[in-house]
Amino acid sequence: MMPPPSLNPPSESLGRLFLRFLRFGLLAWGGPVAQIAMIKQELVDEERWVTPEQFNRVLSVYQILPGPEAHELCVYFGMLARRQLGGLLAGLGFMLPGFLLMFGLSWFYVTYGIQSPSFQGVLYGFQAAVAALIIRAIHRIGGHALHDRMLWGIAILALFTQLAGLPFLLTLGFSGLMYAIVKWRGALPPKAMLGLVPIAVPLVLAATPTIATLFYYGLRTGLLTFGGAYTAIPFLQHDAVVIGGWMTNQQFLDALALSSILPAPLIIFSTFVGYLGGGPWGALALTAGVFLPAFGFTLLAHDQLERLIQNTNLHAFLDGVTAGVVGLISATAIGLFRSAVPDLPALLIFLMALAALYRWKAKAAVAGVVLGAGLLGWAITLLI
């Protein structure tokens, strides 16, 4: 079943549709808020594909579902224009610039390394800024997600279970069920909720990543990124650094830093993680896994999901999962902070970046802060 007809159905060809969303991808600076605002201005305010009310309802669906909202909106509008094929092309167009740029940076990073003092200095500053980005993201996500004492308790419990080394998938499943059961007041979960519980069952995989393993890691991450791309950090960091060992924390921070300065959803750092785990095919596999749910939810089941999300029991489960994710990010941030801020100069860059992120509200704030921190890091290496 297709979404309701738009006010002004577009008549452009598949090629023009792809190029339109490719342009959106080339201009996708400034994070999800800026990306969504850009899409809304052109397709809703100017060209009136849908009403503002319909846009807000669709956006509310994607804010509850896992995955990058801006990308999912592109798939949705592409489907409005040319059904499933249009949705596929729109989603690919939006993600392609960021993917190609990150793929090229990953190749350069692996092939030529970063041994020169200049590169080392820039990445030294980048890493401190990324630590600030994560702290700011925890505050922002937690401010929206932790709206009662029990959710705070779930987040704190998830923090300690992650530090204790318990499987994070079990933590998330328990977090969702615990909060939902309280909201259900002892009632048994409906069948729709029981279908979500298997997400929390861990799958044991070999530490050395195969292409299939990397695809699985990406798919699992794509299914669990509630609340924005920053929620993917603990999952991929756990797989790549803690379990797989094919990356260090410093390299993981480099991935986050590079994705922060590209015109793409932050989740594109998964391409870097996959490249270091399995080369070019690993990058493709992990990226495909991460983005597959964002395509699938819209292309196959948007209307059904829109109806399902009216179920308040589902809201309670997802609220609990999101609180658990906040705890997981906080635990992961502790280890990343230790790697990113090893000395006093890095601490100063971190504090300056954090202050700038709180005060600077422009679309280019994230990229500007990261690049500025890189310049400071480079300057410090010249002076020391």
Question: Are residues 128 and 274 both part of a single domain?
Answer: yes
DSSP, residue by residue, 251-315 = HHHHHHHHHHTSSS-GGGHHHHHHHHHHHHHHHHHHHHHHHHHHHHHHHHHHHHHHHHTT-HHHH
Question: Are residues 39 and 148 both part of a single domain?
Answer: no
pLDDT reported for residue 270 = 94
Chain segment 213-271, per-residue pLDDT in tens: 999 999 999 988 876 677 888 889 999 998 889 999 989 999 998 888 888 888 999 99
Band (354; pLDDT cuts 50, 70, 90): very high
Residue 6 domain-assigned (yes or no):
no
pLDDT reported for residue 268 = 92
Question: Are residues 186 and 268 both part of a single domain?
Answer: yes
Question: Are residues 23 and 143 both part of a single domain?
Answer: no
Chain segment 66-82, per-residue pLDDT in tens: 888 889 899 999 988 88
Question: Are residues 226 and 214 both part of a single domain?
Answer: yes
Question: Are residues 355 and 220 both part of a single domain?
Answer: yes
Q: How far, in Å, CA of 87 to CA of 79, rounded?
A: 4
Residue 165 domain-assigned (yes or no):
yes
Sequence-separated (6 or more) residues with CB below 8 Å from residue 145: 151, 155, 227, 319, 322, 323, 325, 326
Residue 1 domain-assigned (yes or no):
no
**Terminal alpha carbon distance of the chain:** 63
Q: What is the 3-state secondary structure (H, E, C) of 297-316?
A: HHHHHHHHHHHHCCCHHHHH
Band (61; pLDDT cuts 50, 70, 90): confident
pLDDT at 349 over 80: yes
- Are the beta carbons of 187 and 256 closer than 8 angstroms? no
Question: Are residues 60 and 161 both part of a single domain?
Answer: no
Question: Lowest-pLDDT range, 12-21, 130-139, 151-160, 271-280?
Answer: 130-139
Chain segment 165-178, per-residue pLDDT in tens: 887 778 888 888 88
Residue 195 domain-assigned (yes or no):
yes
Question: Are residues 129 and 146 both part of a single domain?
Answer: yes
Question: Are residues 170 and 250 both part of a single domain?
Answer: yes
Domain boundary among 93, 118, 145: 93
Residue 219 domain-assigned (yes or no):
yes
Place of tokens 């923090």: 159
- Grouping H, G, I as helix, E, B as strand and the rest as coil, residue 95 is helix
Q: Both tokens of residue 229? A: 């791309």
Question: Are residues 192 and 295 both part of a single domain?
Answer: yes
Residue 249 domain-assigned (yes or no):
yes
Residue 237: Cβ-neighbour burial (10 angstroms; 0-12, 13-18, 19+):
buried
Q: How far, in Å, CA of 376 to CA of 136, rounded?
A: 20
Question: Are residues 272 and 150 both part of a single domain?
Answer: yes
Count of structural domains, the chain: 2
Tell me which residue range forms the domain holding 47: 14-93
Residue 295 domain-assigned (yes or no):
yes
- Grouping H, G, I as helix, E, B as strand and the rest as coil, residue 221 is helix
- Whole-model pTM: value is 0.79
Domain boundary among 62, 93, 124: 93
Domain boundary among 74, 93, 112: 93
Q: How far, in Å, CA of 240 to CA of 208, rounded?
A: 10
Question: Are residues 339 and 295 both part of a single domain?
Answer: yes
Residue 105 domain-assigned (yes or no):
yes
